[in-house]
């Protein structure tokens, strides 16, 4: 279909087939250009071999990784919804980034990582994996974060009670996800997750809709975590966080082994803040 050395993920291939002729020709020309000499777009947070986002026009993006083969992880087109396409379940991403923490004097969501604010990288990772609806919960220094971070393509909500713990941010975000089939809960202090790991969690959820899906790296449970909508009432009642629900339903958890340390790796050098 394409010129040499191009690999399309199943999601990218499905989106390719749904593109109208005009956009398909533009995508074909862009992929051939990237094959001849990859033009690095905006880097996405990931492991040692990061993915990049290349915008063809306002409603069509390519998420790819250059190398011997040009790996196309996703084609994002507004005419399709990779997060909940025809016949698929609607999985909403929920990024919790409200806590009072700083990194080298900056609010944690603005910590520089791969040339961009940490929170921007986290949301783009989810978008690259096919999560089109993303809710970002801010709290500490929310106005500063909104002014300085690119959160395009997401819905931002501010948790006025962020000082009372992560559970308040979880409830704040869940109020906007009541029509979801599932929520994928991600934490701002876990910015090293690869898009491919998120994609595997989504695929596993859609196989049989287990109550909980989480990644497993070297027998250690990590993030993000997918919760079926049947557990939303339980999530809204937690005292500390989603792990309470994971423990309660531990015999129904679907663990997905991944070769991605990012699912358990936290950003280092974070200091708590105690705003008055």
Mean per-residue pLDDT, 87-93 = 78
Q: What is the pLDDT of residue 120?
A: 92
Mean per-residue pLDDT, 133-157 = 94
**Predicted confidence (pLDDT) at residue 58 exceeds the cutoff of 80:** no
Tens-digit pLDDT profile for residues 241-251: 999 999 999 99
Q: Confirm or reject CATH 3.90.550.10 for domain 91-266, answering yes or no.
A: yes
**Predicted confidence (pLDDT) at residue 36 exceeds the cutoff of 90:** no
**Predicted confidence (pLDDT) at residue 236 exceeds the cutoff of 90:** yes
Q: What is the pLDDT of residue 45?
A: 54
Mean per-residue pLDDT, 20-44 = 74
Q: What is the pLDDT of residue 9?
A: 76
Intervals of CATH 3.30.2310.20 along the chain? 6-77
Q: What is Dmax (Cα atoms) for the chain?
A: 60
Q: Round to whole Å and give the CA distance between 226 and 182.
A: 7
**Predicted confidence (pLDDT) at residue 176 exceeds the cutoff of 90:** yes
User: Which residue from 75, 60, 63 is spatially nearest to 13, judged by alpha carbons?
Assistant: 75
Mean per-residue pLDDT, 62-86 = 66
The CATH superfamily of 6-77 is RelE-like (3.30.2310.20)
Intervals of CATH 3.90.550.10 along the chain? 91-266
Listed in sequence order, the residues at least 6 apart from 253 whose beta carbon sits closer than 8 Å to its beta carbon are 210, 211, 212, 213, 214, 246
Mean per-residue pLDDT, 252-257 = 96
User: Which residue from 116, 132, 107, 130 is spatially nearest to 189, judged by alpha carbons?
Assistant: 107
Cα 58 to its chain centre, rounded Å, is 20
- The more confident residue out of 175 and 16 is 175
**Predicted confidence (pLDDT) at residue 171 exceeds the cutoff of 80:** yes
**Predicted confidence (pLDDT) at residue 19 exceeds the cutoff of 90:** no
Average pLDDT, the chain: 84
Bridge partners, 212 (sequence order) = 227, 253
Q: What is the pLDDT of residue 48?
A: 42
Listed in sequence order, the residues at least 6 apart from 70 whose beta carbon sits closer than 8 Å to its beta carbon are 5, 6, 7, 31, 34, 35, 38, 64
Q: What is the pLDDT of residue 276?
A: 46
Q: What is the pLDDT of residue 198?
A: 93
**Predicted confidence (pLDDT) at residue 78 exceeds the cutoff of 50:** yes
């Amino acid at each position: 279909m394409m010129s040499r050395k191009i690999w399309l993920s199943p999601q990218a291939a499905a989106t390719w087939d749904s593109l109208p002729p005009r956009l398909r020709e533009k995508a074909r020309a862009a992929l051939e250009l990237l094959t001849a000499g990859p033009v690095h777009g905006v880097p996405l947070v990931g492991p040692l071999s990061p993915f990049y986002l290349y915008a063809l026009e306002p409603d069509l993006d390519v998420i790819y990784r250059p190398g011997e083969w040009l790996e196309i992880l996703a084609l994002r087109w507004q005419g399709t919804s990779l997060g909940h396409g025809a016949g698929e379940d609607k999985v909403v991403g929920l990024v919790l980034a409200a806590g009072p923490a700083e990194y080298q004097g900056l609010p944690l969501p603005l910590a520089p990582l791969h040339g961009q604010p940490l929170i921007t990288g986290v949301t783009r990772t989810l978008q690259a994996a096919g999560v089109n609806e993303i809710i970002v919960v801010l709290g500490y220094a929310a106005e500063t974060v909104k002014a300085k971070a690119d959160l395009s393509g997401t819905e931002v909500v501010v948790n006025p009670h962020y000082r009372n713990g992560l559970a308040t941010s979880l409830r704040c975000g869940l109020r906007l996800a009541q029509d979801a089939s599932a929520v994928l809960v991600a934490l701002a202090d876990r910015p090293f997750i690869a898009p491919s790991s998120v994609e595997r969690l989504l695929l596993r959820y859609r196989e049989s809709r287990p109550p909980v899906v989480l990644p497993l790296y070297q027998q250690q449970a990590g993030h993000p975590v997918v919760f079926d909508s049947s557990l939303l009432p339980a999530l809204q009642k937690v005292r500390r966080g989603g792990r309470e629900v994971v423990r309660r339903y531990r015999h129904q958890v679907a663990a997905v082994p991944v070769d991605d340390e990012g699912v358990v790796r936290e950003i280092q050098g974070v200091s708590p803040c105690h705003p008055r």
